[in-house]
């Protein structure tokens, strides 16, 4: 009975994989500042590495979830990301997409790390480089905050322009 159940799960997962196209994404994301605190500031907001998993919900709609870690305005951070992607094919090679997502995580401090979060929306273009892989460039707007850091600094929020160059592997 137990063996049949496990076998059934494996078949179901395999079937889902065939129905819903999936991809793994690895990317590098430098962030250009627009504001830091209440002032315009055109410095750098850090660079992070992103790893994400994407899966189709409908023909042109995907969800994604992933992790991101790198330098930030406040030090170093570790984020969990989730959101939606609307994508549209232009030709056999090119496609464009719009993403919207939430970021939740921590700024790495001691004696205790601080909560950080953000919202991000990007527009991007993707080029297929083989049957199973593609390269993409995205940019957009990102608003990040670390509320508890306001105790120590004038800068606890920031509006940024994220740039992302990513490699995507179709599973």
Partner 1 sequence: MNIKHLLIFSMVLLLGACSYLPELTLNETNIQNKLSETSDRIVLESASGNATSALIFYPGGLVDPHVYLEWQDKLVTENQDLMIITVKMPANLAVLGINNGLKVMEDYPEINNWYVGGHSLGGTMGAELIAGSPDKFKALIFIASYPANDKLKNWDGAALSIHASNDGLSTPADIEAHKADLPAAFVMNDMTNFNLPLQSKTHYYEIQGGNHGQFGNYGVQDKDSVAFISRADQQTQLVTVINNFISAL
Measured CA to CA, the distance from residue 52 to residue 79 in angstroms comes to 11
Size of the site for partner 1 (CB under 8 A): 32
Using rule CB under 8 A, residue 76 touches partner 1: yes
Stretch that binds partner 1, among 39-47, 60-68, 82-90, 93-101 (CB under 8 A): 39-47
Shortest Å distance, C-beta 123 to partner 1: 24
Using rule CB under 8 A, residue 153 touches partner 1: yes
Stretch that binds partner 1, among 79-87, 92-100, 102-110, 123-131 (CB under 8 A): 102-110
Shortest Å distance, C-beta 42 to partner 1: 9
Q: Which two tokens stand for residue 169?
A: 């592997």
**Binding residue for partner 1 (CB under 8 A) from 15, 43, 90, 102?**
43
Backbone angles phi, psi at 75, to 5 degrees: 145, -110
Using rule CB under 8 A, residue 38 touches partner 1: no
Q: Which two tokens stand for residue 61?
A: 């709609």
Best CA proximity match to 23, nearest among 128, 127, 170: 170
Q: Which residues contact 111 (CB under 8 A, 6 or more apart)?
A: none
Nearer to partner 1, 32 or 139 (CB): 32
* CB count in 10 Å sphere of residue 161: 16
Q: Which residues contact 42 (CB under 8 A, 6 or more apart)?
A: 32, 33, 34
The residues binding partner 1 (CB under 8 A) are 28, 30, 33, 36-37, 39, 41, 43-47, 49, 69-71, 73, 75-76, 108-114, 151-155, 158
């Amino acid at each position: 009975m137990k063996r049949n159940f496990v076998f059934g799960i494996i078949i179901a997962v395999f079937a889902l994989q065939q129905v819903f196209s999936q991809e793994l994404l690895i990317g590098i994301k430098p962030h250009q500042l627009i504001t830091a605190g209440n002032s315009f500031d055109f410095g750098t907001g850090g660079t992070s590495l992103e790893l994400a998993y994407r899966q189709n919900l409908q023909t042109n709609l995907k969800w994604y979830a992933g992790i991101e870690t790198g330098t930030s305005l406040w030090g170093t951070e570790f984020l969990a990301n989730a959101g939606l992607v609307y994508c549209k094919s232009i030709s056999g090679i090119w496609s464009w997409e719009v993403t919207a997502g939430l970021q939740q995580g921590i700024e790495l401090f001691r004696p205790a790390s601080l909560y950080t979060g953000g919202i991000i929306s990007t527009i991007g273009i993707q080029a297929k480089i083989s049957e199973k892989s593609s390269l993409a460039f995205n940019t957009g707007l990102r608003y990040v905050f670390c509320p508890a850091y306001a105790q120590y600094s004038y800068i606890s929020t920031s509006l940024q322009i994220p740039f992302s160059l990513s490699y995507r592997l179709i599973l």
